């Protein structure tokens, strides 16, 4: 009896799963076209899954082992079950193999069940609580049903009673594991996830690569949408990516905005996009809501606007503006979903079409358009900070080894100390360098992250036009944001440069022995990794090496390196200033204080500003350039020369 | 929102520190006020070069069209605007108080109202309601004070920094918006051609002498109405007497000699 029932069950489930898969596929294809390598992507998928994705999952050893056993066991068991029970190939060896696979899967599923006993808040509940039971049921049913095939039990063992029980078990198992994959159950992550890996919009990320620059909008085509208004404005493989979410909540656990009580939860955002893709409301979402926003009030559909500025749609605008673009979610995501891209895409629509950048956003963008700096300062004052430093201008030299990209920190009195320290180092190491001076403009970082792609491209194109006039080997910047944009985002507009962060450059100088350094007196020091240097560009080592070279042993924070917590200053978040329960820099300062450090070394003007904004008593904040300049042996000579230069200037005026 | 026929006069502005062309601050506020009153029915009107990119800044506030009376630099905008507005069914003309480029004399709204024979409201802050061709408006006075006025329509109203801040100008609508150029007979500005321009000097500030001894007095001084002190209220006098009183004051103040 089982021999007739099982093939019917298996093939019925498979057929329905294929229909569901087709339905889902056409749902994704409602998105805008995207160029993908259809066949090549599919061929590379197993490697991406087994290597790249596994690397991310491996950070949580318990889960990676559990997943290998469960998923590996399931895939084997499913294939063998189709052969053995579906096609009736009752071979003893195959039977034993199937038994082994189900045992493996059952063991894994036990650990899945164990973690679900007292699940952390980041995990989604609801249907996900049912999944371990379904896995156990699938494995157990096929185990028992296969025993006769392996010859361990007689073929008609148990009679029709056991047959019916097994049939029910198998039906439950295949419903969850075959049907659920394509009809929207928890197992959907396996189907959508595999295809997401195959047709990922940033294929460069696989094989140890890095792809963090935002993708440019085509502003020359007046018909192309300016950002994303409704779910179908995403590219289709972005929609596919959202569907791959396994709701593990690793992003939620890392998101600084969520921890600060701002109305953002990256996991919920991705699930909202899935709701938008399929249509419906968020009442059945089984995870943590956006802080302060109850479930069940928001709904949407593929062709409905995601944000309604005068009411409620799928997502509220302030959710999108809470993001600091720190990329902690993307770094954590075992499915390699691109949260930040999606958020900036939706911001683009709000800024470029609706003109609704909140709080100081509009003012900052207007300043960038009118004065090339976000503060609205007179562009003629861009080099005032270096009035007494006699900096070589690239316009005079025409050619240089190192182009020092000053950045908008030039207008900020705190950051000017860092810049001056770095100039001291450059001079001490006798580096052939020059600055653009008044020819430099804002890199466009903040405009782009506020969604104003037009202003970004305008600034970028003018900067590129300036840079094309001159010859230089490398660009060095003290600002990780300028560094990232110049390095990773100007390329699409025709500007390809070799760009270094000043910490990398100083490390190189130290290694070459160009700097005569003493030992720092700073007693206990910790180091805060800037997001745009670390997660965006993978530079964790150089700043630490520099600190080590001046005799500083870094007391690492619990969240450092790729897990560093954002200072709250990225993505225009201080400008849009969405209220939460606490401030992100305050939380970061708690992290810093936990190490017992009296000084925190930083490498970013934004981090400096945000951390110095925390009320005292708190550890001192110093840029790496300042720490190095302090222990320069030549420092005394330079200091002796300085007053003379100043007097000269005073006489001129 | 009412179905008034509103025209906002817009000009090309200049940023105060970089001097780059932009939408003029006060004109943008006039557009904002107009948008709140009439929404998409607001008409934007500019006299000058239809190619000026800065004009798109106004379209970016969410309007589909901007009409330009095409004229070269240095031509007189006034007769064109008078002609255009006389022939239209405009009920309310909104402008900024003073242009950021060109002459920037701040005279245009006054001259326009004079030529059209319409009333003129300075410092419009809000239009409360419009009934039977009469608008009830709030006029901004110094120190945050407001005066409620009833004005017969059609009228000209200028806005200053007391009017609501202009909304953000968005790239999409700015790019899509249509700039409609109208050919008109250009009138040369003979005064501008003959007169010589000289840089304006900042008006000297009156010294502020604080005599107050207590906090309450300081508060009173800070919130008191700006007043010359020697004012005089004339009530129930004949037009003849009123005119004589004004004439006398103008001679005393040295305006007329």
Contacts of A452 in chain B (CB under 8 A): 171
Quick one: pLDDT band at residue A159, thresholds 50, 70, 90? confident
- The sign of the CA dihedral A544, A547, A549, A554 is negative
Contacts of A454 in chain B (CB under 8 A): 171
Are residues A333 and A421 both part of a single domain?
no
Contacts of A376 in chain B (CB under 8 A): 17
Phi, psi (degrees; rounded to nearest 5) at A526: -120, 165
Residue A107 domain flag: yes
Residue A261 domain flag: yes
Q: Do B168 and A361 touch (CB under 8 A)?
A: yes
Smallest Cβ–Cβ distance between A356 and the set B22, B60, B168 belongs to B168
Specify the DSSP class assigned to residue A528. P
Contacts of B17 in chain A (CB under 8 A): 370-371, 376-379
Are residues A347 and A375 both part of a single domain?
no
Are residues A178 and A39 both part of a single domain?
yes
Q: How many C-beta atoms lie closer than 10 Å to residue B39's C-beta?
A: 14
Chain B residue nearest residue A351, CA to CA: B170
Are residues A190 and A238 both part of a single domain?
no
Contacts of A379 in chain B (CB under 8 A): 17-18
Torsion angle of C-alpha atoms A471, A472, A478, A479, degrees rounded to 10: 50
The per-residue pLDDT for range A544-560, each reduced to its tens digit, is 999 999 999 999 999 99
pLDDT at A20 over 60: yes
Instruction: Let me know: does A540 contact A562? Beta carbons within 8 Å.
Output: yes
Q: Do A356 and B175 touch (CB under 8 A)?
A: no
Q: Tell me if residue A88 falls in helix, strand or coil.
A: coil
Are residues A327 and A417 both part of a single domain?
no
CATH 3.40.50.620 in chain B, residue ranges: 6-194
Residues in chain A: 653
Are residues A290 and A428 both part of a single domain?
no
What is the overall mean pLDDT for chain A?
A: 94
Strand order in the sheet with B124-131: B124-131, B134-140, B146-152
A370–chain B Cβ distance below 8 A for any pair: yes
B173–chain A Cβ distance below 8 A for any pair: yes
Averaged pLDDT for residues B75-87: 93
A330, HSE (Cβ side, Cα atoms, 13 Å): 22
Q: ipTM score of the complex?
A: 0.89
pLDDT at B219: 82
Instruction: Let me know: does B116 contact B82? Beta carbons within 8 Å.
Output: yes
Percent of all residues in chain A with a pLDDT value above 90, rounded to a whole number: 91
pLDDT at A93 over 70: yes
DSSP code per residue over B152-174? ESSEEEEE-TTSPPPPPPPHHHH
Averaged pLDDT for residues B78-86: 94
pLDDT at A651 over 50: no
Q: Do A355 and B61 touch (CB under 8 A)?
A: yes
C-alpha distances out from residue B95 to B90, B107, B135, Å: 14, 11, 17
Q: How many C-beta atoms lie closer than 10 Å to residue A28's C-beta?
A: 22
pLDDT at A635 over 50: no
Q: How far apart are the CA of A361 and the nearest CA of chain B, in angstroms?
A: 9
- The sign of the CA dihedral A124, A129, A132, A134 is negative
The per-residue pLDDT for range A363-409, each reduced to its tens digit, is 999 999 999 999 999 999 999 999 999 999 999 999 999 999 999 99
Instruction: Let me know: does A433 contact A405? Beta carbons within 8 Å.
Output: no
**CA A26 to centroid of chain Cα atoms:** 27
Residue A420 domain flag: yes
B19–chain A Cβ distance below 8 A for any pair: no
pLDDT at A587 over 90: yes
pLDDT at B163: 94
**Element of type H or E holding A522:** none
pLDDT at A647 over 60: no
pLDDT at B227: 56
The per-residue pLDDT for range B131-190, each reduced to its tens digit, is 989 999 999 998 889 999 999 999 999 999 999 999 999 999 999 999 999 999 988 888
pLDDT at A648 over 50: no
What tokens does A356 get? 């609704």
Averaged pLDDT for residues B103-107: 89
DSSP H stretches of helix in A175-282:
180-183, 188-198, 236-243, 250-254, 256-259, 266-278
Are residues A470 and A611 both part of a single domain?
yes
pLDDT at A158 over 90: no
Are residues A421 and A496 both part of a single domain?
yes
Smallest Cβ–Cβ distance between B171 and the set A352, A362, A376 belongs to A352
**Mode of pairing for the β-strands spanning A280-281 and A299-300:** antiparallel
pLDDT at A160: 85
pLDDT at B230 over 80: no
B13, HSE (Cβ side, Cα atoms, 13 Å): 22
Contacts of A361 in chain B (CB under 8 A): 168
The per-residue pLDDT for range B178-221, each reduced to its tens digit, is 999 999 998 888 888 888 888 878 887 777 676 778 888 888 77
Instruction: Let me know: does B44 contact B96? Beta carbons within 8 Å.
Output: no
The per-residue pLDDT for range A195-244, each reduced to its tens digit, is 999 999 999 999 989 999 999 999 999 989 999 999 999 999 999 999 99
Instruction: Let me know: does A98 contact A148? Beta carbons within 8 Å.
Output: no
Number of domains in chain A: 3
**Mode of pairing for the β-strands spanning B134-140 and B146-152:** antiparallel
Are residues A599 and A454 both part of a single domain?
yes
What tokens does A114 get? 């164990």
Contacts of B171 in chain A (CB under 8 A): 226, 351-353, 452-455
pLDDT at A645 over 50: no
Smallest Cβ–Cβ distance between A371 and the set B15, B175, B176 belongs to B15
Which chain B residues in 138-167 lie under 8 Å from chain A, judged by CB atoms?
A: 167
For residue A630, cis peptide bond before it (omega within 30 degrees of 0): no
Look up the domain containing A20 and give its range.
2-198
Averaged pLDDT for residues B112-118: 96
Q: How many C-beta atoms lie closer than 10 Å to residue A116's C-beta?
A: 16
Phi, psi (degrees; rounded to nearest 5) at A44: -80, -15
Q: How many CB pairs under 8 A join A and B?
A: 53
Contacts of A353 in chain B (CB under 8 A): 170-173
Instruction: Select from A175, A172, A186, A158 the least CA-distant residue to A245.
Output: A186
Which chain B residues in 61-90 lie under 8 Å from chain A, judged by CB atoms?
A: 61-62
What kind of fold does domain B6-194 have according to CATH? Answer: Rossmann fold (3.40.50)
Are residues A452 and A326 both part of a single domain?
no
Smallest Cβ–Cβ distance between A355 and the set B17, B18, B168 belongs to B168
β-bridge mates for residue A516, sequence order: none
What tokens does A318 get? 């302030």
Contacts of A366 in chain B (CB under 8 A): 22, 168
Question: Which candidate in A349, A355, A438 is best for mutational testing of the B interface (most B CBs within 10 A)?
Answer: A355
Instruction: Select from A281, A276, A271, A342 the least CA-distant residue to A303.
Output: A276
Contacts of B61 in chain A (CB under 8 A): 355
Are residues A342 and A381 both part of a single domain?
no
Q: Do A365 and B20 touch (CB under 8 A)?
A: no
pLDDT at A294 over 50: yes
pLDDT at A644: 45
Smallest Cβ–Cβ distance between A362 and the set B22, B168, B175 belongs to B168
Tell me the pTM. 0.91
C-alpha–C-alpha distance, residues A615 and B93, integer Å: 51
pLDDT at B102: 86
A375–chain B Cβ distance below 8 A for any pair: no
Smallest Cβ–Cβ distance between A355 and the set B15, B22, B167 belongs to B167
CB-based contacts of A614-620 (< 8 A; 24+ apart in sequence): A614/A583, A614/A585, A614/A586, A614/A589, A618/A589, A618/A592, A618/A593, A619/A526, A619/A589, A619/A592, A619/A593
Specify the DSSP class assigned to residue A351. I
A482–chain B Cβ distance below 8 A for any pair: no
What tokens does A112 get? 């899945």
C-alpha–C-alpha distance, residues A288 and A299, integer Å: 17
Instruction: Let me know: does B123 contact B76? Beta carbons within 8 Å.
Output: no
C-alpha–C-alpha distance, residues A268 and A342, integer Å: 13
Q: Give the angle A527-A532-A534 at the CA atoms, nearest 5°.
A: 50
Percent of all residues in chain B with a pLDDT value above 90, rounded to a whole number: 67
A438–chain B Cβ distance below 8 A for any pair: no
Residues in chain B: 257
Q: Do B170 and A362 touch (CB under 8 A)?
A: no
What tokens does A575 get? 């400008």
Q: How many C-beta atoms lie closer than 10 Å to residue A396's C-beta?
A: 8
Q: Tell me if residue B44 falls in helix, strand or coil.
A: strand
pLDDT at A649 over 50: no
Averaged pLDDT for residues B81-88: 93
Instruction: Let me know: does B83 contact B113? Beta carbons within 8 Å.
Output: no
Are residues A562 and A443 both part of a single domain?
yes
Instruction: Let me know: does A541 contact A509? Beta carbons within 8 Å.
Output: no
Contacts of A355 in chain B (CB under 8 A): 60-62, 167-170, 173
């Amino acid at each position: 009896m089982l021999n007739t029932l099982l093939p019917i069950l298996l093939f019925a489930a498979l057929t329905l799963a294929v229909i569901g898969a087709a339905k889902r596929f056409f749902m994704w294809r409602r998105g805008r076209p995207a160029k993908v390598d259809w066949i090549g992507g599919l061929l590379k998928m197993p490697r991406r899954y087994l290597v790249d994705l596994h690397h991310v999952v491996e950070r949580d050893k318990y889960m990676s082992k559990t997943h290998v056993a469960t998923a590996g066991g399931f895939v084997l068991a499913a294939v063998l079950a189709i052969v053995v029970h579906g096609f009736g190939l009752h071979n003893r060896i195959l039977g034993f193999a199937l038994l082994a696979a189900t045992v493996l899967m059952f063991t894994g599923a036990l650990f899945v069940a164990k973690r679900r006993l007292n699940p952390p808040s980041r995990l989604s509940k609801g249907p996900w609580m049912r999944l371990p039971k379904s896995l156990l049921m699938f494995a157990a049913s096929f185990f028992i049903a296969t025993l006769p095939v392996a010859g361990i039990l007689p073929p008609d063992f148990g009679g029709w009673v056991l047959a019916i029980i097994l049939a029910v078990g198998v039906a439950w198992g295949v419903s969850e594991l075959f049907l659920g994959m394509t009809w929207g159950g928890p197992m959907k992550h396996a189907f959508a996830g595999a295809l997401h890996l195959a047709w990922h919009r940033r294929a460069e990320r696989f094989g140890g690569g890095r792809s963090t620059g935002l993708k440019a909008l085509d502003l020359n085509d007046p018909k192309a949408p300016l950002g994303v208004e409704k779910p179908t404005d995403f590219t289709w493989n972005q929609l596919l990516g959202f569907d791959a979410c396994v709701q593990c909540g690793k992003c939620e656990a890392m998101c600084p905005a969520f921890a600060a009580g701002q109305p953002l939860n990256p996991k919920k955002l991705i699930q909202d996009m899935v709701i938008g893709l399929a249509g419906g409301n968020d009442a059945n979402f089984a995870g943590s809501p956006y802080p302060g926003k109850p479930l069940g009030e928001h709904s949407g559909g593929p062709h409905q606007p995601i944000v309604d500025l005068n009411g409620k749609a799928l997502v509220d605008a302030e959710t999108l503006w809470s993001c600091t673009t720190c990329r902690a979610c993307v770094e954590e995501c075992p499915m390699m979903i691109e949260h930040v891209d999606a958020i900036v895409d939706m911001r683009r629509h709000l800024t470029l079409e609706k003109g609704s950048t909140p709080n100081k956003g509009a003012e900052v963008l207007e300043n960038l358009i009118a004065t090339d700096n976000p503060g609205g300062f007179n562009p003629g004052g861009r080099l005032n900070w270096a009035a007494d430093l006699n900096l070589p201008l690239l316009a005079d030299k025409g050619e240089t080894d190192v182009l020092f990209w000053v950045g908008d920190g030039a207008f900020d009195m705190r950051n000017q100390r860092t810049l001056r320290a770095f100039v001291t180092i450059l001079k001490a190491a006798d580096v052939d360098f020059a600055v653009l001076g008044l020819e430099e403009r804002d890199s466009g970082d903040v405009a782009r992250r506020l969604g104003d792609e037009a202003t970004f491209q305008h600034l970028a194109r003018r900067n590129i036009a300036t840079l094309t006039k001159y010859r230089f080997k490398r660009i060095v910047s003290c600002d990780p944001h300028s560094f990232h944009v110049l390095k990773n985002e100007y390329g699409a507009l025709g500007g390809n440069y070799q760009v270094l962060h000043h910490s990398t450059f100083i490390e190189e100088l130290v290694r070459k022995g160009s700097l005569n350094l003493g030992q720092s007196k700073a007693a206990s020091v910790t180091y805060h990794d800037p997001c745009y240097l670390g997660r965006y560009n993978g530079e964790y080592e150089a700043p630490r090496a520099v600190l080590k070279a001046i005799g500083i042993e870094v007391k690492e924070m619990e969240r450092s390196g790729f897990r560093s917590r954002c200072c709250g200053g990225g993505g225009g978040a201080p400008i849009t200033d969405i209220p939460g329960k606490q401030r992100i820099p305050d939380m970061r300062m708690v992290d810093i204080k936990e190490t017992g450090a009296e000084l925190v070394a930083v490498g970013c003007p934004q981090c400096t500003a945000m951390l110095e904004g925390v009320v005292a008593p708190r550890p001192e904040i110093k840029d790496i350039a300042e720490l190095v300049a302090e222990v320069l042996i030549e420092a005394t000579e330079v200091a002796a020369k300085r007053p003379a230069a100043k007097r000269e200037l005073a006489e001129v005026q | 929102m009412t179905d008034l026929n509103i025209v906002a006069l817009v000009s090309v502005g200049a940023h105060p520190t970089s001097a780059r062309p932009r939408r003029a601050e006060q004109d943008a506020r006039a557009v904002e006020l107009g948008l709140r009153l009439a929404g998409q029915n607001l008409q934007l009107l500019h006299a000058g070069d239809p190619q000026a990119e800065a004009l798109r800044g106004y379209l970016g506030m969410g309007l589909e069209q901007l009409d330009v009376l095409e004229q070269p630099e240095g031509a007189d905008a006034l007769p064109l605007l008078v002609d255009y507005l006389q022939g239209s069914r405009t009920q309310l003309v909104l402008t900024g108080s003073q242009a950021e480029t060109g002459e920037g004399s701040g005279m245009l709204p006054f001259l326009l109202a004079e030529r059209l024979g319409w009333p003129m409201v300075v410092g419009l802050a809000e239009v409360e309601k419009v009934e039977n061709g009469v608008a009830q408006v709030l006029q901004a006075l110094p120190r945050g004070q407001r005066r409620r006025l009833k004005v017969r329509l059609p009228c000209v109203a200028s806005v200053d920094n007391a009017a609501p801040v202009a909304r953000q100008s968005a790239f999409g609508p700015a790019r899509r918006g249509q700039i409609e150029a109208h050919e008109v007979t250009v009138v040369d500005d003979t005064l501008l051609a003959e007169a010589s321009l000289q840089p304006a000097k900042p008006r000297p500030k009156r010294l502020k002498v604080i005599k107050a001894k207590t906090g309450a007095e300081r508060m009173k001084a800070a919130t008191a109405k700006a007043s010359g002190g020697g004012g005089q209220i004339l009530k129930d006098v004949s037009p003849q007497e009123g005119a004589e009183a004004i004439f006398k004051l103008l001679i005393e103040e040295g305006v007329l000699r």
